[in-house]
């Protein structure tokens, strides 16, 4: 009899292969030997709740049960539960505000365009998307530009948090003082203190569900700036190239793609030219 109060039972080699292939086929995240313990813990948490004692049995439940799709969504929330914050990598957003957006606006003026479209492809609980919006609203002259920021993620629970726009003091710790005063409101509740994104910032940000394995399903037109940082690291190198190539197709003329340096070491991406601004790694569309 399974002891559901104990630590997760040992997972056999064939079960590891089964689950690793299943998860990768659904969301692209690859669990090799070094990360299998994490996946095993996620599986056991759901198995324990459902009183399912075997990894094979749980696989059949997720794959073939009538409620399997709903169970997959619950498991996925555990798998993709990532930590993020506002202005997570400050040099990146300084580059966006001081260099990239002014150049985007200059090129737009030459074409007689007033729309600026930016996309946080894996926005988690929304901090990155709102940070992009803060940078855009800081640079773009009010009334002269139509600023739109899209935040997408595979986690429905994360998107709910995004739309709520309420964050702990720890999450906003890196927000510059001027941005905090302009775009965040301190709320003192009965049990805790938190910050709420102002309506002026919320108004330019839209959130939607999105699977990074299928960038072609992004249907909001061409983007001037795309952020996809700290997500590709979980994919196999060949899949990283495929995803970036598809993201490149979503960039407008001379569009910019922000990636995390550790995710792209040794990889080449057609149609993009890499350059650095300080500590920021940026790619520019050249085709």
| 8 Å CB contact between 50 and 58 | yes
For residues 232 and 244, the answer to whether their CB atoms sit within 8 Å is yes
Quote the CA–CA distance of 169 and 261 in Å, as a whole number: 28
| Six-digit token string for 1 | 């009899």
Task: Give the chain's residues under pLDDT 50.
Answer: none
3-state secondary structure of 107: helix
Full DSSP string of 151-196: EEES-HHHHHHHHHTEE-TTTTTTS-HHHHHHHEEEEE-SS-EEEE
- What is the model's pLDDT at position 83? 65
Burial of 211 (0-12, 13-18, 19+ CB in 10 A): middle
pLDDT one-digit tens code per residue, 196-253: 999 999 999 999 999 888 767 777 789 999 999 888 888 888 999 999 999 999 999 8
The confidence score (pLDDT) of residue 78 equals 85
Report the pLDDT value the prediction gives residue 278, as an integer from 0 to 100.
Answer: 80
| pTM to 2 decimal places | 0.84
Distance separating alpha carbons of residues 178 and 175, to the nearest angstrom: 8
């Amino acid at each position: 009899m399974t002891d559901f109060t104990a630590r997760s039972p040992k997972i056999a080699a064939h079960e590891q292969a089964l689950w690793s292939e299943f998860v990768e086929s659904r969301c692209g995240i690859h669990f090799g030997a070094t990360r299998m313990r994490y996946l095993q813990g996620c599986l056991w948490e759901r198995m324990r709740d459902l009183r399912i004692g075997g990894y094979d049995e749980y696989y059949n439940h997720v794959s073939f049960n009538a409620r399997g799709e709903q169970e997959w969504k619950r498991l996925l929330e555990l798998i993709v539960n990532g930590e993020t914050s506002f202005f997570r990598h400050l040099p990146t957003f300084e580059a966006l505000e001081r260099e990239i957006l002014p150049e985007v606006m200059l090129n737009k003026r030459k074409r007689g365009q007033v729309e600026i479209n930016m996309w946080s492809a894996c926005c988690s609980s929304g901090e990155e998307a709102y940070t992009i919006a803060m940078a855009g609203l800081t640079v773009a002259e009010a009334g002269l530009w139509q600023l739109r920021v899209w935040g997408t993620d595979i986690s429905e629970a994360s998107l709910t948090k995004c739309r709520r726009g309420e964050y702990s003091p720890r999450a906003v710790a890196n927000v510059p003082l001027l941005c905090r005063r302009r775009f965040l409101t301190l709320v003192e509740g009965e049990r805790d203190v938190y910050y709420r994104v102002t309506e002026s910032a919320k108004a330019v940000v839209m959130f939607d569900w999105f699977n990074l394995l299928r960038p072609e399903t992004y249907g909001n037109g061409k983007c001037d700036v795309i952020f996809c940082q700290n997500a590709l690291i979980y994919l196999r190198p060949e899949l990283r190239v495929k995803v970036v190539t598809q993201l490149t197709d979503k960039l407008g003329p001379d569009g910019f793609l922000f990636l995390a340096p550790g995710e792209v070491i040794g990889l080449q991406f057609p149609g993009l030219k890499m350059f650095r601004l300080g500590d920021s790694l940026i790619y520019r569309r050249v085709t």
